[in-house]
A and B are shown apart, each in its own frame.
Chain A
């Protein structure tokens, strides 16, 4: 029986004292930050096309796919005078309740236009419950450089398709 044999105990003590001289693995968090892996699932982003139009077409498939029922989408009609996204409709309300979200990424998978994506931001602490609702304004990326923001006035008949034409990779 092991309690009659002190050797394993001494071995254990040697193991622990060895680790005392090792360099600690701790990261001093607020000052030092870990580089997130490429596929880390953090806060959501609503992406834009290169021309600055929003990718989200307000189809609410993300809301349907969400297992935690964290997403609420309300769509409105696009017109060529007031255009947010290509196609008929855009998300006039897009809210994610960060208290419900489980960061599973199903919304990302469900999105037909790759509009919603989980980014690398994880510092989302809030002190008031209402701040847990991330609205469209917070989630939406700024337009690419040199591009006008939405809504904008466009030429009629250019942005008719909601979903971009798929092209084979060259």
Chain B
């Protein structure tokens, strides 16, 4: 086996492993969410399927696979089929640039933990890829030929575009501190300096709020808004196509948590990670779990925003704060000479 085939094989295997981690992460995020929400509501949560209910996601998956899939008669079929894929795929491929560690020894072969850790436009890649998901949602709403779905899709689009600005601006301060667009360099910058959430606390809060809006989580779950819009853009979806939307949301939660951890919580950095590179993925996973827990906790606490306030909050509060953060970071860098 020459070096090129080995390289291709390594990348294919790493890609498959990361995709599988995302999907398992999706399955167990639902479990985690149900258990945590249950505890917030002084209940127990699913504990019947398997030990401690650990097989509950499997049971849910099997149920969804066997569900009948309906396509509305008046729906625009091609876009209707395409929409779930467009929502789901970007959520997974975001993980491509998230570094899971540095070089590690794997059965005598030195591999890089992560698919492309040092992609020099890593953050641009994340921003552009996550924006694709908006198309999935608006297409789903439009192709269903249903007024509730349409409203849900439009609301979602408006929301995601509005909050993308604050999100994009909140990417800037870590980039400025690290002096690089590559996530690998940003982690390295945090290993040398501090985890960025300490000097950039306001930015990380704005980023987190924007991420919540970006993945349509409560209190920004406007597009779904069961009580107002039936189920929003996926009203007409059933069976596995519905599951894809569901997966899209949860995988996106997972991958955006990974991005948040990488940008602000030091990514794979942690004690002894230089000596034992395999600790990197473990640390990153722990940080992702903490972020997910925070998202679920917020979901269990806050009611949904009213739509006009959501827009007001996005444009009049979050965006100016994000801008001020950029300026403050620039000042901080020039004053302390970081």
Contact = CB atoms under 8 A, between A and B. Distances in A.
Interface of A: 3-4, 9, 12-13, 15-17, 19-20, 22-26, 28
B309 interface: yes
**Which 7 A-B pairs give the minimum distances between C-beta atoms?**
A26-B44, A16-B301, A20-B39, A12-B301, A16-B40, A24-B44, A26-B43
Nearest to A1: B309
Interface string B273-299: 000000000000000000000000110
Nearest to A20: B39
A26 B42 CA distance: 8
B44 A16 contact: no
A3 B301 contact: no
B312 to A, nearest CB: 8
A19 B41 contact: yes
A16 B42 contact: no
Nearest to B39: A20
A22 B43 CA distance: 9
A12 B300 CA distance: 10
Contacts of A3: 305, 309, 312-313, 317
Given A3-B309, A3-B313, A4-B317, A24 B42 contact: yes
A20 to B, nearest CB: 5
Contacts of A19: 39-42
Contacts of A23: 42
A23 B317 CA distance: 39
Nearest to A23: B42
Contacts of B312: 3
A23 B44 CA distance: 9
Given A3-B312, A15-B301, A20-B36, 4 more contacts: A9-B302, A16-B297, A20-B40, A25-B43
Contacts, number: 39
A16 B219 CA distance: 15
Nearest to A22: B42
Given A3-B309, A3-B313, A12-B302, A24 B43 contact: yes
Given A3-B309, A3-B317, A4-B317, A25 B42 contact: yes
Interface string B83-99: 00000000000000000
Nearest to A12: B301
Contacts of B39: 19-20, 24
Contacts of B317: 3-4
A22 B41 CA distance: 9
A14 to B, nearest CB: 9
Contacts of B297: 13, 16-17
25 contacts: A3-B312, A3-B313, A3-B317, A4-B317, A12-B301, A15-B301, A16-B40, A16-B297, A16-B300, A16-B301, A17-B40, A19-B39, A19-B41, A19-B42, A20-B39, A20-B40, A22-B42, A23-B42, A24-B38, A24-B39, A24-B42, A25-B43, A26-B43, A26-B44, A28-B44
Nearest to B300: A16
Contacts of B41: 19
A29 to B, nearest CB: 10
Contacts of B36: 20
B314 to A, nearest CB: 11
Nearest to B47: A28
A24 B45 CA distance: 10
A13 B41 CA distance: 13
A4 B309 CA distance: 11
Contacts of B301: 9, 12-13, 15-16
Nearest to A10: B301
Contacts of B44: 24, 26, 28
Contacts of B305: 3
A86 B44 CA distance: 53
Contacts of B38: 24
Interface in B32-75: 36, 38-44
Contacts of A15: 301
Residue with the highest number of chain A CB atoms closer than 10 Å, among B39, B298, B313, B317:
B39
A28 B297 CA distance: 25
Nearest to B309: A3
A28 B44 CA distance: 9
